[in-house]
Amino acid sequence: MAIDSQSGVTILEANTCLMLLRSGEVGRLAVSVADHPDIFPINYLIDHGTIVFRTAEGTKLAAAVTCPRVAFEVDGYEPEAGEAWSVVVKGRAEEIRNMDEVLDAMAFPLFPWHAGPKHRFVRIVPDDISGRRFHILDRAAWRTPLTDAPHSPPE
């Protein structure tokens, strides 16, 4: 782990990033849809160093399969320590189609929040995993006369 002396941000090693990813269950998938970025919240789990999620047919699946270069992010906050962390994975999305792998994936404890059917599984194979941890400043550190002024609702 390296610490940026100016910002106090700790740069995390890949194994620490994977440990943090395992501690979460919801992240954000960034894809390209018709040459425009889009972001989807997804429930996920880590399987042998890859990220697996369930989805239905639609924009998310189509984007991940037709333009498989994706990014995935998970953040966390540890109030007792007063620290936050962020992990970003950049990699390749691939739909799980092999019958044995699909059957294995169906046994994963992967429970989407949305009630609609989500029978398709996608795996993100990481090319790059990066993360950082940092101390949360008290809000008072950012106070200015403008932030303390009363605000009127927009007209």
**Complete DSSP assignment for the chain:** -EE-TTT-PEEEPHHHHHHHHHH-SEEEEEEEETTEEEEEEEE-EEETTEEEEEE-SSHHHHHHHHS-EEEEEEEEEETTTTEEEEEEEEEEEEE--SHHHHHHHHTS----SS-S---EEEEEEEEEEEEEEEEPPPGGGG--HHHHS--PPP-
- Residue type present at position 80: E
Supply the pLDDT for residue 145: 74
**Within-domain flag for 93:** yes
Average pLDDT over residues 59-69: 87
What percentage of the chain carries pLDDT values higher than 90? 48
**Within-domain flag for 28:** yes
Average pLDDT over residues 82-97: 94
> How many CB atoms are closer than 10 A to CB 123?
19
- Give per-residue pLDDT as tens, 141-155: 666 777 666 766 666
- Give per-residue pLDDT as tens, 5-40: 666 799 999 999 999 999 999 999 999 988 899 999
Mean pLDDT score of the chain, rounded to an integer? 86
Q: pTM of the predicted model, to two decimals?
A: 0.81
Asked if the model's pLDDT at residue 3 lies above 70, the reply is yes
Supply the pLDDT for residue 155: 63
**Within-domain flag for 64:** yes
> Is there a contact between 72 and 89 (Cβ–Cβ < 8 Å)?
yes
**Within-domain flag for 37:** yes
Asked if the model's pLDDT at residue 4 lies above 70, the reply is no
**Within-domain flag for 155:** no
**Within-domain flag for 26:** yes
**Within-domain flag for 120:** yes
Supply the pLDDT for residue 149: 67
CATH assignment at residue 70: 2.30.110.10
Average pLDDT over residues 124-134: 96
Total structural domains within the chain: 1
Asked if the model's pLDDT at residue 46 lies above 90, the reply is yes
* Domain span holding position 76: 2-148
**Within-domain flag for 104:** yes
